[in-house]
Amino acid sequence: MTYEQPTTEPTGSPFLRAIGSVFRVLLRLLFILILGVLIGGALYFGAPWVYTTLVEPVQQNTARLAALEQRVAQEQARLQDENRALQERIAALETKVDAQRADADVQAQGAEDVAGQVQQLDLRIAQAEEGLESQQDAAQVTRSYLDSAINDLSERTDGVVERTEGLEGRLALLQTAQDLVKVRLLLLEDNSRNARDTLTLAMGHLDQAMALMPERAETLTELRSRMAGLQRLIEERSFRVTPELESLWADVMDLVLPATLPAAGEGTLEASPVATPTPAPSP
In a domain, 3, yes or no: no
Q: Is residue 282 part of a domain?
A: no
Cα(213)–Cα(163) distance, rounded to whole angstroms? 11
- Per the domain annotation, does 273 fall within a domain? no
Q: Tell me, what's the pLDDT at 110?
A: 64
Q: Given this model, what pLDDT does residue 32 score?
A: 92
SS3 of 22-63: the string is HHHHHHHHHHHHHHHHHHHHHHHHHHHHHHHHHHHHHHHHHH
Q: pLDDT (tens digit, 9 = 90+) per residue, 34-72?
A: 998 888 887 788 777 777 787 778 878 888 888 888 888
142: CB partners within 8 A, 6+ apart = 75, 79
State the residue range of the domain holding 202: 14-256
| Averaged pLDDT, 222-245 | 85
The answer to the question of residue 69 being in a domain is: yes
As a whole number, the mean pLDDT across the chain is 75
**150 Cα distance to chain centroid:** 21
117-161 pLDDT, tens digit per residue, is 777 777 778 887 777 777 777 777 766 765 775 666 555 545 444
Q: What is the pLDDT of residue 177?
A: 86
pTM: 0.36
pLDDT in tens, 185-202: 888 888 888 888 888 888
CA end-to-end span of the chain: 13
Query: What pLDDT does 165 receive?
Result: 55
Q: How many domains does the chain have?
A: 1
Kindly state whether residue 62 falls inside one of the protein's structural domains.
Answer: yes
Report H helices in the chain. 14-50, 56-106, 111-188, 192-212, 217-236, 241-256
Does residue 283 fall inside a structural domain? Answer: no
For residue 102, tell me if it sits in a domain: yes
Question: Residue 258: its pLDDT value, please?
Answer: 58
Q: Please tell me the predicted confidence (pLDDT) of residue 34.
A: 92
77 within a domain of the structure (yes/no): yes
**How many of the other CB atoms lie within 10 Å of CB of 9?**
8
